[in-house]
Amino acid sequence: MLTEVFESNPGRRRACHGFDNRPRQQDLAAVTGETDPGRGVNRQSQVSGVRQGRLSRMQADSNPDRKAVRPAPSQNIALDRDGGLDAGLCLLEDRKHLVGADFYHGGPGGPPSAAHGPAYGSFPGFEGNRDADIAVLGVPSDEGSPWKPGARFAPRKIRELSIKYAGYGPVQHQLGYYDIDENRRFLEYERRHSRIVDCGDSDIVYTNVRRTFDNITRDVRRLLDAGAFPVVIGGDHAVTFPVVRAYTERLNVVHFDAHMDYRPFVHGVQWANGNPIRNVARLKTCHHIVQVGIRSLRTRQADVQDSRARGNDIVTVPEYRRRGAARILERLPAGEPVYCSIDVDVLDLPLVPGCASSEVNGLTYDELRQTLFAIARVREVIGFDLVEVNPMLDVPADNTSQLAAQLIIEFLGRIVEHPGYRKRHPMRPGTPAAGRRRRLSRARATGR
């Protein structure tokens, strides 16, 4: 569900042999309406995928200089709607038989999916416009990991696993995704009207963490300036700081994690995955912080004292189970927006084999999702990140990446229901989803 991509020509069939996760400057420009040859989205990373290799060789054969040339959207090859190479385990179906199922632009079909970071070209209809409500941005950096690396591959893998959810919408002729417990659909409007885009990945300048962080902040800031809601896929937890740094409005942070991530800056180490919340706490825009799920035996007492001395709240797993989400909600100032940072190690160790920092005695998936739902109901969430998925450690079925993809989908489905979100991103009048949502809002207001 964050991007199943279908061929732009409904008359052709195509198969996908690999995918290109090459982030491009044009993709971010699709949302922001900007083009900038400077820092930001990667423009030079090497293309992966069998299909791109074949394309390059084919073009080299017809090129007198024997050099691979960049494909143009007009070429007779299978392209995504944005002119990029399609990717992932795509269905061998005519697009006309599958009613618009690409979450890449939040198409009208089933639940969204993000199969890959977009490649060449820019989104049709987005040039110079800012016509998107939700923007997915990958941050493939794990240079802040002192233990086992590999989280840099999570943005690609989570996008790939999200395809698992995308096909059901068009096949079953339903919009958004259906929640059987609540007997209703979510993200229906966003999918029908292409309100979600994937902006590829931020440019990671290896060994230059400051430059990388500047790129991340710049990319998120451009998305915010364009009026888009950022969904950031890490990467290790160090990337949360440059993401939150991009916000200029006052906000509160809910931090889900097994660890404090409040380490002091020792031996010049300030930008690792043990430091982000201490860094975030120093931002002038950051008001209150609630840290949920802290339980590791490696927790430093001094870090707990420093966090509490700032006024932060720490909710351990036993405390959470005694009081539930209410313990978190009561600490979030009313009427103020919330940013959520989700480290998958907040979940119990067996649930996240693809995580280098997992700990025993964590939350269940339902405990985490219900807490996120509760936050989205009573506070306006203005962005979130999901970090510390490590595909290199995961089981062959990629369960941790699948869990991450589903959590992103379900959380988004609730975030867009909040009146604050809808005020920033008003629905287009006259749509069936808009009418149903207005009726639902009236029913909630009257208690009927």
Domains within the chain, CATH numbers bracketed: 25-424 (3.40.800.10)
* Residue 316 β-bridge partners: 294
In whole angstroms, give the CA distance from residue 419 to residue 440: 12
Residue range 371-391: mean pLDDT, rounded? 97
Q: Range with the lowest mean pLDDT among 109-113, 241-245, 423-427, 432-436? A: 109-113
* Burial class of residue 236, CB neighbours in 10 A (0-12, 13-18, 19+): buried
Q: What is the pLDDT of residue 360?
A: 96
Q: What is the pLDDT of residue 79?
A: 27
Q: How far is CA 299 from the centre of its chain?
A: 28
Check whether 74 has a pLDDT greater than 50.
no
Residue range 187-206: mean pLDDT, rounded? 91
Check whether 157 has a pLDDT greater than 60.
yes
Q: How far is CA 439 from the centre of its chain?
A: 29
Tell me the average pLDDT of the chain.
75
Which range has highest mean pLDDT (36-50, 53-67, 93-107, 357-371)?
357-371
Check whether 357 has a pLDDT greater than 70.
yes
Which range has highest mean pLDDT (127-136, 180-189, 264-273, 333-342)?
333-342
Using pLDDT thresholds of 50, 70 and 90, give the confidence band for residue 176: confident
Which range has highest mean pLDDT (14-28, 64-78, 140-154, 229-243)?
229-243
Q: What is the pLDDT of residue 249?
A: 96
Check whether 344 has a pLDDT greater than 90.
yes
Which range has highest mean pLDDT (25-39, 76-90, 161-175)?
161-175
Model pLDDT for residues 265-274, shown as the tens digit of each residue: 777 777 777 7
Check whether 152 has a pLDDT greater than 80.
yes
Q: What is the pLDDT of residue 171?
A: 60
Q: What is the pLDDT of residue 2?
A: 46
Tell me the torsion sign for CA atoms 383, 388, 390, 393: negative
Q: Range with the lowest mean pLDDT among 35-39, 230-234, 261-265? A: 35-39
In whole angstroms, give the CA distance from residue 22 to residue 28: 12
Which range has highest mean pLDDT (100-109, 117-126, 365-374)?
365-374
Name residues whose C-beta falls within 8 Å of residue 271's C-beta, 6 or more positions apart in sequence. Answer: 144, 209, 210, 213, 238, 241, 279
Closest listed residue to residue 203, CA positions, set 212, 191, 195: 212
Q: Range with the lowest mean pLDDT among 14-28, 376-390, 391-405? A: 14-28
Q: What is the pLDDT of residue 268?
A: 72
Check whether 102 has a pLDDT greater than 60.
no
Q: What is the pLDDT of residue 339?
A: 98
Q: What is the pLDDT of residue 308?
A: 96
Model pLDDT for residues 301-328, shown as the tens digit of each residue: 999 999 999 999 999 999 999 999 999 9
Tokens linked to 371: 């807490």
Q: What is the pLDDT of residue 111?
A: 37
Tokens linked to 230: 């950022």
In whole angstroms, give the CA distance from residue 26 to residue 43: 9
Q: What is the pLDDT of residue 130?
A: 56
Residue range 348-367: mean pLDDT, rounded? 96
Name residues whose C-beta falls within 8 Å of residue 110's C-beta, 6 or more positions apart in sequence. Answer: 1, 4, 101, 165, 166, 167, 168, 169, 170, 171, 172, 174, 175, 176, 177, 191
Check whether 99 has a pLDDT greater than 80.
no
Q: What is the pLDDT of residue 217?
A: 97
**In this structure, are residues 270 and 282 in contact, taking their beta carbons and an 8 Å threshold?**
no
Model pLDDT for residues 214-238, shown as the tens digit of each residue: 999 999 999 999 999 999 999 899 9
Using pLDDT thresholds of 50, 70 and 90, give the confidence band for residue 202: very high
